[in-house]
C-alpha cells in the first residue's frame, strides 16, 4: 500500500503512509483481544462500559426501593444506601458515559468518519483500553474490600470522605476509588491524545475541518476539554490519597472527630471543591458534546435534510466547550466560598444557555420541511431533545445563584441532572447504537423490541424524573435514605416516591430487552447492507461491511463535500455521499 | 402521528401536573419571598420555552413526516433567523438573571441590626451559641474542643464567658428580628437548612460561613442537614422555634452560659449543706 496516492502532486504528502509490520494482527489474540484496531478497541470499551453500567443500574433500583418503600428492606442500611449512591453516580458519569462516548463511539467513528485507516497511535490506543479495564476492576474490587466501597457521594468531599463516619473512609474503599480514578485518567489520556491527533492529522484528502460531521466535532471538542479538565481531578485524587495515607493536610483543617482531635490542620476543604468542579462541570459537557454531535447527525440523516446552520452548530460546540471552563463554581453557591463569586458564576452560567439554545433551535429547525422518517434513531433523537430541553431549562433555576439557594442539595437537583446528563445522553447512546449497529455487525436491530424499548424508556424516564423536581420543591433533601415524618411534606410525597420507584423498575426492565436485542440480532437481525440509512458520511461508504482492519481496502476515500448533502435539488437521489465527486459546482461549503 | 400526539401529551401533561400537583413548597416563614418570586418568573419563562419547543417539534413530526414522493427542503442556513433567535434568547436570559442578581445582592448584605446566632454542626447533631449580654461571641477554635467545652470556645476571651451554649437542643428565635446565622463545624461539612426559611449555607470546619434572614411567622420548623456528612446525614435533624418576644425571653432565661458550664465543680459544696 506504499504510496497509493490517488492524486500525488508535488509538495502534497502522499495519502498513504508506509505499512507498519508491528501493527497488524497475527492471530486470534491480536485480532480479538490485544487488538490495535480502533474498531475492536471501541467494542471492548463499549462492552466493558455497558457491563459496569449495568451494575450502576442495579444499584439505582436498590436506592429507589429504599426511597419508595423505606423500612421494607433491612439490608439497605444507611451505610449501604450511601455506598450504592456513590458507586452509582461515579460509574454512570465516568465509567459508563465518558468511556462509552469517547472510548466507544470515539474509537469507532473518528477514523471512519474522517477517512483514516485507524487512530494515529494504535498501540497507545490499545493500552488505553487495558488501563481502563484495570480501573474498572479496581473499582469493582472496592465492593469486596473490608468495609466496602466508599459512601462519600460521587463528589468525594473532604473531610468526611476519609473519616470513619463515612463508609469506606477509613477502610480500603476510598483508597481503591482514588486509585481507580487515577488509572482511569491515565488510560483516558492515552486514548484522548489519539482522538485529538487523529482528527487534526489523520483526515483524508478533502476532509477539511468544516466538512467534518458534527459527531466528530462533538467528540473532538469533548476530548480536548477532557484533556484539560481531568488533570484537575487527577491532582485532587493524588492529594487526597496523601491526606488519607501519609497524613498530609491538603484538604483537612483542624477538626474533632467523635470527640477526638485529629492530627490534621490548616488544609482547605473548599480547595478540593474547586478542583473537583473545575473537572466536574466540564465533565457534564464532555458527556453532552458527543451527544450533541451524534444527535445532530441522527436528525439530519433521518429527516433527509441538511443540519440547519452547520457553521453555527460548530461554533456553538466550541464556544460551549470554552465557556464551560469558567462556570464551575455554580456547584458551590452555598459552599461558603466568597459570596461575590456568585455574581460572576451566575452570569457566565446563564450566558452558556445562549449557545446551548441555538443548538436546540437548529435541531428543531432541521425538522422543519424535512422528510422525517420515524426510525428508531430518529425517535431517540426526538426524545433526547425533549429531555435535554427540560433538563437544560431547570439548569436556569440552579444556575441563577439566588434561586439555587433553596433548591441546592434537594431532590430538584437530582431530577435536573438526571434529566440533562443522565437520561438525555443515554437516549443518544441508544439512538446511536440503533443507528450504527448495522455498520458494526452488518445486521439491523430488531424493530419490535426496539419500539418497546424506546417507548418504555422515554415515557418511563420522564415519569421518573419530571415529578421528582416537585419532591425537591417541597424541600426534600438529596442523599437521604429516608425522609421520615416531617411537617413540611405531606404523606402524598411518600406515595409519589413509591410511584417513581415503580417507574424506575419498569424502565430498568426495558433495558434488559435492549441487551437481549443486542445479542439476538447479531445472528437473527435483518441483513443491513453497507448503507441502510442512505447516509452521506464516510463510514457508510466503506467497501465492505463490517469494515475490516484498515477500513478502506486499497484506497482511502477522497472527500468532495460536507456531510449534509441530503435532498439536494436536482440530484438523482436524496443524498450525495461525501466521497461522491458529482458535479463539482453543486456541493455546499 | 402517534409520535406527534405523545409529544403534545408530554407538554399538556407537564403543565397539568404543574398546576394540579399538591406538591409545592411549604408556606414561607422568612423575608425571602423575593427568592420565591424569582423562582416563579423562572418557571414562567422556562415553561413557555419548553412548551414552544416541544409543540414545534410535534407539529414538524406531524406535518413533515415521510410521504412518498415528497423531498425535504435544502436550506443550509438562515443568518437572519439565527440572529433573531439568539437575540430573543439573550433577552429571556437577562430577564431571569437581572432579578436573580438583584436578590442575591440583598441575600449577601446583612442588615446592621441583625443579631448573631452561631450554629455549630457536628456528626450528627446541631449545637448553637448566642452572644449573651455583651452582644458579642467569644473566639473559638476546633483545637479547644473538649468534653466540657463542646463548641471549642476560647476560655481566655472575656467576650466568651457570657455566651449561651445550647448543646443538642432546640433553637429559639424571636419573630421579626433579622438574624445573622454564623455557621461553624467541628468535624466535616454540614449545611443548615430549614425549608420554610428558603435560605441555606454549608458549614465548613476551619472557617465561619453565614447567611441572614428574618423569621416572619411563629411556629416550629424542622432543621435538616443538607450536605452529606457521613452515615448519619439523613438523620441529622433539629428544631427551630420562632417565638413571640415574651416567649423568647422566657426560653432565653432558662439557658446556661459558657462560664457556668465550664466553672469547676465546687469541691465540698455538697458537704456544707448537709446537716
Ligand atoms: C433509570 C435510571 C436511573 C435511576 C432510577 C437513578 C436513580 C438515582 C437515585 C435514586 C440517586 C440517589 C439520589 C439521592 O438520594 O440523592 C441517584 C444519584 C445519582 N445518579 Fe442516578 N439514576 C439513574 C440513572 C443515572 C444516569 C444515567 C446517570 C448518569 C449521569 C446518573 C447519575 C447519578 C449521579 C451523578 C448521582 C449522584 C450521586 C451522589 O449523590 O453522589 N444516574 N440516581
Ligand atoms: Cu456545572
Ligand atoms: Cu449532613
What pLDDT, in 10s, does the model give residues A245-272? 999 999 999 999 888 899 998 999 999 9
Let me know whether B49 and B161 are in one domain. no
**End of a domain among A248, A268, A286?**
A248
Q: Are residues B59 and B152 in the same domain?
A: no
Q: Of B107, B126, B160, which one is at a domain's C-terminal end? A: B107
Which residues constitute the domain of residue A445? Answer: 316-527
- The tens digit of pLDDT for each residue in A316-357 reads 999 999 999 999 999 999 999 999 999 999 999 999 999 999
Q: Please identify which residue in the block is written with the cell numbers 468542579.
A: A277
- If you take atom 29 of ligand 1, which residue's CA is the nearest one? A422
Q: In whole angstroms, what separates CA B70 from the centre of its chain? A: 56
End-to-end alpha carbon distance in chain A: 31
Q: What is the pLDDT of residue A8?
A: 46
User: Are both B61 and B120 inside the same structural domain?
Assistant: no
The residue whose CB lies within 8 Å of the most ligand 1 atoms, and thus the one to mutate among A161, A422, A428, is: A422
Number of structural domains (chain A) is 3
- Do B11 and B139 reside in the same domain of the chain? no
B193: domain CATH number is: 2.60.40.420
Full 3-state SS string of chain B: CHHHHHHHHHHHHHHHHHHHCCCCCCCCCECCHHHHHHHHHHHHHHHHHHHHHHHHHHHHHHHCECCCCCCCCCCCCCHHHHHHHHHHHHHHHHHHHHHHHHHHHHHCCCCCCCEEEEEEEECCEEEEEECCCCCCCCCECHHHCCCCCCCCECCCCHHHHCCEEEECCCEEEECCCCEEEEEEECCCCEEEECHHHCCEEEECCCCCEEEEECECCCEEEEEEECCCCCCCHHHCEEEEEEECHHHHHHHHHCCEEHHHHHCCCCCCHHHHHCC
Q: Which of A248, A265, A291 is the last residue of a domain?
A: A248
- Residues A487, A573 within the same domain: no
The mean per-residue pLDDT over the stretch B20-32 comes to: 91
Query: How close, in Å, is residue A428 to chain B by CA atoms?
Result: 17
Q: Could you tell me if B28 and B98 lie in one domain?
A: yes
A22, A546 in Cβ contact below 8 A? no
Task: Answer yes or no: is B274 within a domain.
Answer: no
pLDDT (0 to 100) of residue A354: 93
CATH number of the domain residue A107 falls in: 1.20.210.10
pLDDT score for A87: 97
Looking at the fold, whether B122 and B219 belong to one and the same domain comes out as: yes
Residues B155 and B257 occupy one common structural domain: yes
My answer on whether B14 and B59 are in the same domain is yes
A310-323 and A269-302 helices cross at what angle (nearest 10)?
A: 170
Residue A22 pLDDT grade (very low, low, confident, very high; cuts 50, 70, 90): low
Grid coordinates in use for A21? Answer: 509490520
All cell numbers assigned to A249: 493536610
A338 lies in some domain: yes
Whether residue B130 is contained in a domain is answered as yes
Among residues of chain A, what percentage have pLDDT more than 70?
95
**Tell me, what's the pLDDT at A13?**
60
- For residues A232 and A97, state if they share a domain: yes
Judgement on whether residues A86 and A192 belong to the same structural domain of the protein? yes
| Boundaries of domain holding B132 | 115-261
Q: Output the DSSP codes for A356-393.
A: HHHHHHHHHHHHTT--B---HHHHHHHHHHHHHHHHHH
Looking at the fold, whether A356 and A438 belong to one and the same domain comes out as yes
Report ipTM (2 d.p.).
0.93
Judgement on whether residues B155 and B252 belong to the same structural domain of the protein = yes
A520 and A494, same structural domain?
A: yes
pLDDT of residue A144: 94
Q: Rounded to whole angstroms, how far apart are CA atoms B200 and B210? A: 9
Q: CB contact, 8 Å: B12 with chain A?
A: no
Euclidean distance between CA atoms A1 and B93, whole angstroms? 56
Interstrand relation of B200-203 and B190-193 (parallel, antiparallel or unpaired): antiparallel
B273 belongs to a structural domain: no
CB < 8 Å to A402, chain B = 34-35, 38, 100-101, 103-104, 107
Domain endpoint, select from A197, A226, A248:
A248
For A:429-468, CB contacts with B below 8 A are 459, 462, 466-467
Is B253 a domain residue? yes
Residues A423, A330 share a domain: yes
Segment A26-36, tens digit of pLDDT: 777 777 788 88
Residues A324 and A241 in one domain: no
**Is it the case that residue B271 has pLDDT exceeding 90?**
no
Residues 6+ apart with CB under 8 A from B187: A159, A160, A163, A165, A255, A256, A257, A258, B121, B122, B123, B205, B229
Ligand 1 proximal residues by C-beta, below 6 Å: A 60, 63-64, 67, 85-86, 88-89, 92-93, 97, 153-155, 414, 418, 421-422, 426, 464, 478-479, 504, 507
Tell me the mean pLDDT in the region A20-25.
Answer: 65
Residues A579, A511 within the same domain? no
User: What single DSSP character describes residue A208?
Assistant: -
- Number of domains composing chain B: 2
Amino acid at each position: 500500500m506504499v504510496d497509493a496516492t490517488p492524486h500525488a502532486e508535488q509538495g502534497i504528502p502522499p495519502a498513504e503512509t508506509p505499512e507498519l509490520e508491528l501493527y497488524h494482527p497475527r492471530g486470534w489474540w491480536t485480532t480479538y483481544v490485544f487488538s490495535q484496531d480502533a474498531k475492536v478497541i471501541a467494542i471492548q470499551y463499549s462492552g466493558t462500559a455497558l457491563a459496569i453500567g449495568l451494575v450502576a443500574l442495579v444499584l439505582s433500583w436498590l436506592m429507589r426501593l429504599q426511597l419508595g418503600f423505606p423500612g421494607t428492606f433491612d439490608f439497605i442500611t444507611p451505610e449501604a444506601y450511601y455506598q450504592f449512591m456513590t458507586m452509582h453516580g461515579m460509574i454512570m458519569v465516568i465509567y459508563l458515559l465518558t468511556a462509552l462516548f469517547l472510548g466507544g463511539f470515539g474509537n469507532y467513528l473518528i477514523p471512519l468518519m474522517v477517512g483514516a485507516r485507524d487512530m494515529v497511535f494504535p498501540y497507545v490506543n490499545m493500552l488505553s483500553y487495558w488501563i481502563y479495564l484495570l480501573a474498572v476492576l479496581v473499582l469493582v474490587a472496592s465492593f469486596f474490600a473490608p468495609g466496602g466501597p466508599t459512601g462519600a457521594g460521587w463528589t468525594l468531599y473532604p473531610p468526611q470522605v476519609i473519616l470513619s463516619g463515612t463508609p469506606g473512609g477509613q477502610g480500603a474503599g476510598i483508597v481503591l476509588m482514588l486509585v481507580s480514578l487515577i488509572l482511569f485518567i491515565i488510560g483516558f489520556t492515552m486514548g484522548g491524545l489519539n482522538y485529538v491527533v487523529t482528527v487534526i492529522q489523520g483526515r483524508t484528502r478533502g476532509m477539511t475541518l468544516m466538512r467534518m460531521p458534527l459527531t466528530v466535532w462533538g467528540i473532538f471538542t469533548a476530548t480536548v476539554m477532557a484533556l484539560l479538565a481531568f488533570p484537575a481531578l487527577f491532582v485532587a485524587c493524588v492529594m487526597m490519597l496523601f491526606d488519607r495515607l501519609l497524613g498530609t493536610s491538603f484538604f483537612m483543617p483542624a477538626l474533632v472527630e467523635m470527640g477526638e482531635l485529629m492530627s490534621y490542620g490548616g488544609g482547605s476543604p473548599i480547595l478540593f471543591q474547586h478542583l473537583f468542579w473545575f473537572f466536574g462541570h466540564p465533565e457534564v459537557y464532555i458527556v453532552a458534546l458527543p451527544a450533541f454531535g451524534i444527535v445532530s447527525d441522527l436528525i439530519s440523516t433521518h429527516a433527509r435534510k441538511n443540519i440547519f446552520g452547520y457553521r453555527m452548530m460548530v461554533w456553538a460546540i466550541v464556544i460551549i466547550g470554552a465557556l464551560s471552563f469558567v462556570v464551575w463554581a455554580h456547584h458551590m453557591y452555598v459552599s461558603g466560598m466568597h459570596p461575590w463569586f456568585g455574581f460572576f458564576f451566575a452570569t457566565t452560567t446563564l450566558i452558556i444557555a445562549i449557545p446551548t439554545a441555538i443548538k436546540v433551535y437548529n435541531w428543531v429547525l432541521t425538522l422543519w420541511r424535512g422528510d422525517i422518517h420515524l426510525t428508531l434513531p430518529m425517535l431517540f433523537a426526538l426524545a433526547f431533545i425533549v429531555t435535554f430541553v427540560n433538563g437544560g431549562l431547570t439548569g436556569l433555576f440552579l444556575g441563577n445563584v439566588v434561586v439555587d439557594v433553596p433548591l441546592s442539595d434537594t431532590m430538584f437537583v437530582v431530577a435536573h441532572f438526571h434529566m440533562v446528563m443522565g437520561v438525555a445522553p443515554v437516549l443518544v447512546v441508544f439512538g446511536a447504537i440503533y443507528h450504527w449497529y448495522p455498520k458494526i455487525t452488518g445486521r439491523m436491530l430488531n424493530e419490535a423490541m426496539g419500539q418497546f424499548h424506546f417507548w418504555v424508556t422515554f415515557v418511563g424516564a420522564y415519569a421518573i424524573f419530571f415529578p421528582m423536581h416537585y419532591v425537591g420543591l417541597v424541600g426534600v433533601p438529596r442523599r437521604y435514605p429516608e425522609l421520615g415524618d416531617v411537617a413540611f411534606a405531606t404523606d402524598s410525597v411518600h406515595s409519589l416516591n413509591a410511584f417513581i420507584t415503580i417507574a424506575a423498575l419498569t424502565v430498568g426492565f426495558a433495558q434488559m430487552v435492549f441487551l437481549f436485542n443486542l445479542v439476538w440480532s447479531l445472528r437473527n437481525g435483518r441483513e443491513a447492507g453497507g448503507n441502510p440509512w442512505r447516509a452521506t458520511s464516510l463510514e457508510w461508504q466503506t467497501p465492505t461491511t463490517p469494515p475490516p482492519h484498515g477500513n478502506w481496502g486499497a484506497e482511502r476515500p477522497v472527500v468532495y463535500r460536507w456531510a449534509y448533502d441530503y435532498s439536494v435539488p436536482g440530484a438523482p437521489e436524496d443524498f450525495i455521499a461525501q466521497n461522491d465527486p458529482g458535479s463539482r459546482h453543486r456541493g455546499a461549503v | 402521528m402517534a409520535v406527534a400526539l405523545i409529544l403534545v401529551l408530554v407538554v399538556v401533561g407537564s403543565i397539568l401536573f404543574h398546576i394540579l400537583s399538591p406538591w409545592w413548597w411549604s408556606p414561607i416563614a422568612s423575608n425571602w419571598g423575593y427568592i420565591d418570586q424569582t423562582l416563579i418568573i423562572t418557571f414562567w419563562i422556562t415553561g413557555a420555552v419548553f412548551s414552544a419547543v416541544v409543540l414545534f417539534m410535534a407539529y414538524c413530526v406531524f406535518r413533515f413526516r415521510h410521504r412518498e414522493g415528497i423531498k425535504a427542503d435544502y436550506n443550509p442556513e438562515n443568518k437572519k433567523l439565527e440572529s433573531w433567535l439568539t437575540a430573543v434568547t439573550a433577552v429571556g436570559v437577562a430577564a431571569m438573571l437581572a432579578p436573580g442578581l438583584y436578590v442575591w445582592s440583598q441575600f449577601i448584605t446583612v442588615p446592621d441590626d441583625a443579631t448573631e446566632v452561631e450554629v455549630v454542626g457536628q456528626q450528627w447533631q446541631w449545637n448553637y451559641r448566642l452572644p449573651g449580654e455583651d452582644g458579642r461571641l467569644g473566639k473559638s477554635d476546633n483545637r479547644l474542643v473538649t468534653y466540657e467545652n463542646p463548641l471549642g470556645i476560647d476560655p481566655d476571651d472575656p467576650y466568651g464567658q457570657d455566651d449561651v451554649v445550647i448543646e443538642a437542643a432546640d433553637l429559639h428565635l424571636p419573630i421579626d428580628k433579622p438574624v445573622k446565622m454564623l455557621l461553624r463545624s467541628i468535624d466535616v461539612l454540614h449545611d443548615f437548612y430549614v425549608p420554610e426559611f428558603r435560605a441555606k449555607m454549608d458549614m465548613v470546619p476551619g472557617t465561619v460561613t453565614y447567611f441572614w434572614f428574618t423569621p416572619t411567622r411563629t411556629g416550629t420548623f424542622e432543621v435538616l442537614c443538607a450536605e452529606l456528612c457521613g452515615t448519619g446525614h439523613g438523620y441529622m435533624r433539629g428544631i427551630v422555634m420562632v417565638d413571640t418576644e415574651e416567649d423568647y425571653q422566657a426560653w432565653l432565661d432558662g439557658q446556661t452560659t459558657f462560664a457556668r458550664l465550664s466553672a469547676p465543680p465546687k469541691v465540698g459544696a455538697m458537704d456544707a449543706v448537709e446537716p
